[in-house]
Chain A
Amino acid sequence: AQTVTQSQPEMSVQEAETVTLSCTYDTSENNYYLFWYKQPPSRQMILVIRQEAYKQQNATENRFSVNFQKAAKSFSLKISDSQLGDTAMYFCAFKMASGSRLTFGEGTQLTVNP
């Protein structure tokens, strides 16, 4: 079974600074997807960024980028120029390419301070 581990329950960052959230996963599969989801207090789970395992290039979406290390099974999220609206729970998630379940980590509560 696949597992996803987020070792940082809470993190904080000053507005406009950069923060990195960590995620590791365990799988014997070769083809899969990795995601970062954001969950603000409204509870709506919002996709931040996705990475296909077969792509060597790290995904980037505006201020959000990932550092995908396939051999190390590591998938960290970097948020640049942090904004107050980035305050939320962030979940790392794994899904095999064959359309199986989406497995989540336990989450990291990020607080952006003014």
Chain B
Amino acid sequence: EAGVAQSPRYKIIEKRQSVAFWCNPISGHATLYWYQQILGQGPKLLIQFQNNGVVDDSQLPKDRFSAERLKGVDSTLKIQPAKLEDSAVYLCASSLDIGEAFFGQGTRLTVV
């Protein structure tokens, strides 16, 4: 069974630029999560999708972050414009309705 795929693995951008991350969840998983993990901290949920609907985006900085999940499968997370404090690892995960989440390898973003 293929795992959660994320791209790119690494990204370096200048502040005020825009960036997008892509995630392909495990086939059949209705729930998809995007987490932000700042160095030395635990992952923080940015947004949770159930199929193509948003379940929880309470911690998403909506003035600069946006996410969509096309047709309830792939998802993209966008940051525009980026700030220095957005430097982090962005993790995508998917799960069935209940039980554990399976994670991708993450994208390390550096904003300079």
Contact = CB atoms under 8 A, between A and B. Distances in A.
Interface of A: 4, 33, 35, 37, 42-47, 50, 91, 95, 97, 99-107
Contacts of A95: 101
Interface of B: 31, 33, 41-45, 48, 50, 55-56, 89, 91, 93, 95, 97-106, 108
Given A33-B98, A106-B42, 19 more contacts: A33-B100, A42-B105, A43-B106, A43-B108, A45-B43, A45-B91, A45-B93, A45-B103, A45-B106, A47-B102, A50-B99, A91-B43, A97-B98, A100-B48, A100-B56, A101-B48, A104-B43, A106-B41, A107-B42
A106 B13 CA distance: 27
Contacts of A44: 103-106
A104 B37 CA distance: 11
Given A43-B89, A43-B105, A44-B105, A101 B99 contact: no
Contacts of A97: 98
B93 A101 contact: no
Contacts of B93: 45, 102
A43 B38 CA distance: 12
A57 to B, nearest CB: 18
Nearest to B107: A43
Contacts of B91: 43, 45
A102 B42 contact: no
Nearest to A31: B98
A23 B77 CA distance: 31
